[in-house]
Structure 1
Amino acid sequence: MFKRWLRLLWLVLFFALCLNQLSGYGKGSSSNVPKQKYKIGVIVYDNSDVMQQEINKYFTQHLAPAFNVEFIISDAIKDSNGEISFIENCAAKGVKGIIAFYNVTDFKKILNLCKQHKIYYVLGAMNPDEKMLKAAEGNPYFLGGVGPGNSDYSAMYKMTKKFLEDGARSIVLPTGGKDWSVKMFIDRYNGVKDAIKDFEAKHPGVKIKVYEFGGFPNDAWFATQAKMIALNPDAIVATFSGEFLWVQPLKDAGKAGKIKLGTLSSINPVAAQAMKEGVLHFLAGIYPQMTGLNFALLYNAMTGYAKDFKKDGKPVVITTDVAIIQSAQEMDKWMKIVYGKVPPYSADDLKKVCKVFNPKATYNDFVKLCKECNYNDIIKRRGIKR
């Protein structure tokens, strides 16, 4: 057991080292930097998370100098008291906006607290659900959020469908937090199950074997994982962190490349290496710089243009896609874009939809930029020839 955790630790350290080497962002454009400085609070669950570290780096190294913004990033928020205290401390420091990657307190209570202090609040990497929108009714300080939307479902559906079409007839399905009613894991699970249901309906007589197990890595989880690999399934559809949790065990069992592996995770060096080695076959990947869209939404509000970037006066609910990557060549292209000196959503890209810099910017311009999140969209913005 200790060896398994040590192996996982080394993978995480390797990932962090790769990020430090690859993602040294160039500063945002030094031209047209506003004189007025704004402070933004960032609520996070865990700053040791490698994706959160990359988001923090993007904010502080690239966006901050270009927009003359100071980001005040929370320590790990573990409970409601910590969340409320952070917002109150932000208010005392003159913060005008909050980007939230985590929420544990009653949502209406948090929004009322922000309204009391005249602090705008935007979700960091997701769309607001119906409960959030209901809680926000009548509160002009909630801006909504841009995020993957139903991509959790659709990505896992596409992944499963691909493996089934390629001949998989037995699938291991680690369900993560599905049994604990975590919405994103329920959506991912349903995507897999619906793809299987639809495939069986189109192929009468074909029955797909599905081996499910829930939870997150601990002694029991790793023991079950070993049993699942020993079943010699045709495919594993990992609802989380497949590149960290499944690649090495498959290698140890001599099954690397023989069992198809897919995962919903981030575009990162560990996943890239696994795909290059032929161990990872399908990645539904997100990239941290998508969070810049919510920064732009917040910046417009702080500078007096909140109403201009709401549709019918309601908080923003704009969905973006995840990248579907199925080859080492595709991954290599994405890695060069995501970890290049100029990020997928650069400061200059975002300034074009901020009215302080572009008085003609509209809500529709913002929606258009949000939707231009795929590889071809990004290289087109950069003027790169394929």
Structure 2
Amino acid sequence: MKKRLTAVLLCAAMVLGLTACSGKESSVETAAQTTAPATEASLAEGGAKTPQDFKKFKIGVCEPQAIDEVVIRRDYYENYLASRYNVEFVFSEQCKDTDDELTFIEGCADAGCDAIISYRSVDANQMAQVCEEYGMQYVINTARIPEVDGAFEGGYETFQGSFGADNEHVGQLFRDWLSSNASDDGSEGFMITSSLAFSGNIQHLETAIAALSALQSKYNLTFEDTVENLAKTSAPIEVANDKGINIYIYPGSPSGMEGWLEGVSAALQTGKYGVLIHSGQSYAQTAVVVDEVEKNFDKDIKVASIASMSESLINAFNTQDKFGNSSLNMASLKSTSLVSSMGFISVYNALTGYAALNDSSENEKRTLSFRMWSLDTLDQINTCANWDVKGGDKWIMDESMINQCLGIMNPDLTADDVQAVYNGMTYESTLERLGK
């Protein structure tokens, strides 16, 4: 018997932090249906449609974390997209494991949901199978990695692929930054926190590989192991090389890994590392020790990190170190609305008869990707702080951009056209469109 969906849709709960999905007994009001979903054949005959030509679709959103990005995403979905595209969103509490997500999906089915956008990719094959049984479209936020191959290869009609960062491009951002900002002789030393690269996180792995490759190329280094193996280390290592340049890789995450920050602090306090690369979003946790080391050793430490727009990022760029520089020198930034829109577009196109827009050239479901922005000035960060703001009116992926990616409004649209829209979303083009 299906469990009923927990009706916890309180914004205050989101702000204070989502709690684990518990499967409590309750219900969610079923949306009124006005018309049946269209088929691709009927749409082809009738040309462009509008959201009002369809029933009100209901979409479940599964969240595994309780972070600022989740709060902003909910506001974007609920208060910006919902009314414009005649949809209703149902949000999970924090789904920490497979049972939590299954409970949420079952509740969404009971509530009449038409689709699931999941920001949790663990056990994707199982979730794809369950969504198929309930007739709900399903898309996941992840790169195409072996752990999700089952969902891609399972032949599920309702599975609509995945969406995430172009991780090779992310790596290139760090490679370019290091090439431009490292000294000619490498005497400052380099520390790379490789985050979860060792456990299969593709973005963290690509970033760590890019940093090592950039150092190898810039200084013509010979390592005792391959760059790929070094980047995937599960234990801290000093990377031996023929030039004697100090390169240290420190894996792990400050979230749930006891002793991680103490280990980073001990390494930095040796004074051997003047460049710190974060493959994950760890710059806020290490800010205090970086400041202490800079003061104790009179050494300017340059810091670059993966980041999303948040108060901590704004504060980092607006906080000066003892040398008059921002405490964070470069952020590889992702936009919440950019990421969130990808999941919405994928399921909405499927629901309105344009599932082919989610197909790759190999006739299988694809990963829709976006490119992070490399930002390294205070002006850039302060400008971005005015976009993708909860309650704001300047969304980076606004209605005009989403409409370019919908089959109902562009009957001749192709999957490559959709990808081209996201490839063209740069800081410069967004500044021209939205202004400061």
Same fold (TM over 0.5): yes
Report the residue type matching 2:55 in the other structure. Q
Cα displacement string for residues 110-137 of structure 1 (whole angstroms, at most 9, x for unaligned residues): 212111111111123x333355345423
Structure 1 residue 332: Cα displacement: 2.4
Cα RMSD for the two superposed structures: 2.8
**Alignment pair present for 1:315 and 2:365:** yes
Structure 1, residues 14-57: CA drift from partner, whole Å, max 9, x if none? xx89xxxxxxxxxxxxxx652621111111112x2122222222
1:365 paired residue number = 417
- Contact kept in structure 1, 2:203 and 2:279, CA below 8 Å: no
Note closer, same or farther for the CA distance 1:240–1:311 as it changes in structure 2 (3 Å cut).
Answer: closer
What is the distance in 1 between the residues matched to 2:275 and 2:432? Answer: 35
Residues 365 and 116 of structure 1: CA distance in aligned 2, closer, same or farther (over 3 Å): same
Cα distance in 1 for partners of 2:156, 2:56 equals: 25
CA change 1:129–1:219 in 2 (3 A) is closer
Alpha carbons 1:265, 1:286 under 8 Å: kept: yes
Q: For the Cα contact (< 8 Å) 1:293–1:350, is it kept in 2?
A: no
Q: 1-side partners of 2:356 and 2:197: how far apart?
A: 37
* CA distance in 1 between partners of 2:100 and 2:177 (Å): 38
Q: Unaligned regions of 5+ residues in structure 1, if any?
A: 1-15, 18-31
Relative to structure 2, which stretch is displaced further, 65-74 or 302-311?
302-311
Offset of residue 379 of structure 1: 3.4
Contact 1:111 1:136 in 2 (8 A): no
Residue 98 of structure 1 deviates from its aligned partner by 1.0
Task: Give the letter aligned to residue 139 of structure 1.
Answer: Y
5 Å-filtered alignment, 1:346-385, equals 346-382=398-434
Q: Which amino acid aligns with 1:316?
A: R
**1:228 matched residue in structure 2:** 267
1:348 counterpart SS class = helix
Q: Specify every segment of 5 or more residues in structure 2 that has no aligned partner in the other structure, as ranges.
A: 1-14, 17-49, 223-240, 321-325
Looking at structure 2, the residues matched to 374 and 80 of structure 1 have their Cα atoms a distance apart, in angstroms, of 36
Contact 1:38 1:68 (8 Å CA) reproduced: yes
Matches within 5 A, 1:198-347: 198-201=217-220, 206-217=243-254, 220-232=259-271, 233-255=273-295, 258-276=300-318, 277=320, 278-290=326-338, 291-312=340-361, 313-339=363-389, 341-347=393-399
Q: What secondary structure does 2:157 align onto?
A: coil
Maintained 8 Å contact 1:147/1:319: yes
Q: Tell me how far 1:262 sits from its aligned partner.
A: 1.1
Residues 1-386 of structure 1 mapped to structure 2, 5 A cutoff: 34=52, 36-46=55-65, 48-105=66-123, 107-124=124-141, 126-129=142-145, 132-133=148-149, 135-137=151-153, 138-150=155-167, 151-165=169-183, 168-169=186-187, 170-201=189-220, 206-217=243-254, 220-232=259-271, 233-255=273-295, 258-276=300-318, 277=320, 278-290=326-338, 291-312=340-361, 313-339=363-389, 341-382=393-434
Contact 1:275 1:281 in 2 (8 A): yes
* Structure ranking higher on relative contact order (CA contacts 8 Å, 6+ apart): 1
Question: Retained in 1: the 8 A contact 2:316–2:328?
Answer: yes
Match of 1:5 in 2: none
Q: Deviations over 1:260-288 (max 9, x none)?
A: 11111113332233223221111111111
Question: Which residue identity is paired with 2:162?
Answer: G
Letter in 1 for 2:308: S
Q: How many residues are aligned here? A: 352
Q: Is the contact made by 2:253 and 2:282 (CA closer than 8 Å) also made in structure 1?
A: no
Shift of 1:87: 1.4
Counterpart of 1:229, as a letter, is L
CA distance in 2: counterparts of 1:157 and 1:301, whole angstroms: 37
What CA distance in whole angstroms lies between the structure 2 residues aligned with 1:79 and 1:205? 45
Q: Secondary structure at the match of 1:284?
A: strand
Match of 2:39 in 1: none
Q: Scaled by the length of structure 1, what TM-score is found?
A: 0.81
Amino acid at match of 1:215: G
Q: Which amino acid aligns with 1:353?
A: C
Q: Kindly state the Cα deviation for residue 219 of structure 1 after the two structures are TM-superposed.
A: 5.3
Q: What percentage of residue pairs aligned between the two structures are identical? A: 18
Q: Considering only CA atoms, is the larger Rg found in Structure 1 or Structure 2?
A: 2
CA–CA separation in structure 2 for the residues paired with 1:120 and 1:381: 32
Contact 2:144-2:162 at 8 Å conserved across structures: yes
State the TM-score, normalizing by the size of structure 2: 0.73
Q: Which has the higher helix share?
A: 1
